[in-house]
Amino acid sequence: ELRNYVLANARELISIRKNKVSEKYELSIPKKLPKFFSDIFELEQSHLQFFKEEEIKTPLNLGKIRSGSKVLDINVRVDAAEVLKHHILIPAATGRGKSNLVKTILYDLLDNDKCGKLIFDPHNEYYGCITQKGLRDHPKSPEFLEYYTIRGTSGAHDLKFNMNLINPAHVMGSINLTEAQKQAIVVFYRQDRKNWIQKIYEDHNLDDLKKIGVQLQTIEVLRRKLGLLLSLYQEDDGTLTENGIYSSSGYEQTTHAIIKSLSDGKTVIIDTSLLEGAEEIFIASIIVEGVFKEYKKLKFQDKLQDRPVISIVIEEAPRVIGKKVLESIDNVFGKIAREGRKFQIGLIAITQLPSIIDREILANMNTKIILGNEMGPERRAIIDSAAHE
């Protein structure tokens, strides 16, 4: 009499067969169960030789294989260009090494000119300093790394933008505005595309405002909101004082220079650690909108295939792709999460709380590197959005 006992449950992950003609291993998704009474072996290095055989033009090294408590001397490499444009999600609780992992990935890719890397750094931890190693310690950092900051660091670029290049879409994608405020911004922008922000701060009589369909109260609220966002202050005599990183003269080429560096396959770090949250998101929106428009234009000109994939690193990702954020503001990050792969632009989204990211966007994150999360709702959100559990 034959009896079956379930000692353990297992799931097939991959099927490996050796091609008799090419003498190379071929991988496929398992379509059938193993034969009854098949032998079971503990994983060994000899079973994973296909990792060493695989030829990848733009490799991204993720580390070594771990089986149980053993670490096998087998490097896991994936095609960086393919993985990056289909987005990466890195969810984990605080202290699990999310930023260290991304720093390691970026260090490995720094001199890979097939991938441009754009990093928004809210903690100033990627570039490095005297007490902490970072990307500046890479031997090829002088050639492939650029750093934008307001700190005055030696060798860094000034993080300053020309205010006249800001358009209504940048503002609407960063702060909450009423319909009346949005319409007012568009009206002033159509009147003077370069100086529309300054025009809002000019004195307006009620008759002129009535002609363009804008209320004085709307103007006053817009002045306050734009002042907080752009660090602008209006003196008693009406003079507009610029206290932040936006200037009405000079710095016209900052965004263009960043896009050019990314198109050359360089790594660009934007240090936002000394900025307020809304200002940080605003800067990110301006730069990313510029990148997205440039790559869309190249796509329609059939020139995109000659450019590197661009990967955008966002810490605390729910601030720009969270459910509530995207319900109130249609920003460029949501567009990239949904359709960026068509234009060779991907996100590396780092978060402690994947459950508050829009579900459609979670499903579009093809690669998920899970470093550990104790909370059930967060694990469930990751599982529910995974192609394979």
Of 349, 357, 332, 338, the residue nearest 173 (C-alpha):
332
Q: How many CA atoms lie within 13 A of 324 on its CB side?
A: 6
Q: Cα–Cα distances in Å, from 149 out to 56, 98, 315?
A: 35, 23, 17
pLDDT of residue 63: 83
Q: What is the pLDDT of residues 246-284, one digit of tens each?
A: 888 888 899 999 999 999 999 999 999 988 878 888 899
Is the model's pLDDT at 2 over the cut of 60?
A: yes
Is the model's pLDDT at 54 over the cut of 80?
A: no
Q: Give the residue carrying structure tokens 């503001």.
A: 329
* Mean pLDDT computed over every residue of the chain: 88
By DSSP bridging, strand 161-162 and strand 232-234 are unpaired
Q: From the CA atom positions of the chain, what is the Rg in Å?
A: 25
Of 144, 159, 70, the residue nearest 112 (C-alpha):
144
Of 388, 330, 328, 329, the residue nearest 363 (C-alpha):
388
pLDDT of residue 388: 62
* Contact of 164 with 194, CB cutoff 8 Å: yes
pLDDT of residue 389: 54
Task: Tell the CATH topology of 86-160+251-384.
Answer: Rossmann fold (3.40.50)
- Model confidence at 324, pLDDT cuts 50, 70, 90, reads confident
Beta bridge partners of 15: 28
* Contact of 339 with 79, CB cutoff 8 Å: no
Q: What are the domain boundaries of the chain?
A: 15-76, 86-160+251-384, 164-246
What is the torsion angle, in degrees rounded to the nearest 10, for the CA atoms of residue 326, residue 331, residue 334 and residue 336?
180
**Number of residues assigned to the chain:** 389
- Model confidence at 137, pLDDT cuts 50, 70, 90, reads very high
Token pair listed for 276: 């307020």
Percent of the chain with pLDDT over 90: 38
- Model confidence at 28, pLDDT cuts 50, 70, 90, reads confident
Q: What are the two backbone dihedrals, phi and then psi, of residue 372, each rounded to the nearest 5 degrees?
A: 120, 130
d(CA 337, CA 349): 10
Is the model's pLDDT at 360 over the cut of 80?
A: yes
pTM recorded for the entire structure: 0.87
pLDDT of residue 258: 96
d(CA 34, CA 30): 9
Q: What is the pLDDT of residues 373-389, one digit of tens each?
A: 778 888 888 888 877 65
Q: What's the one-letter identity of residue 279? A: E
d(CA 241, CA 222): 16
Is the model's pLDDT at 325 over the cut of 70?
A: yes
Of 280, 343, 360, the residue nearest 316 (C-alpha):
280
Q: What is the mean pLDDT of residues 114-136?
A: 92
Of 296, 301, 284, the residue nearest 344 (C-alpha):
296
Is the model's pLDDT at 53 over the cut of 70?
A: no
d(CA 277, CA 388): 35
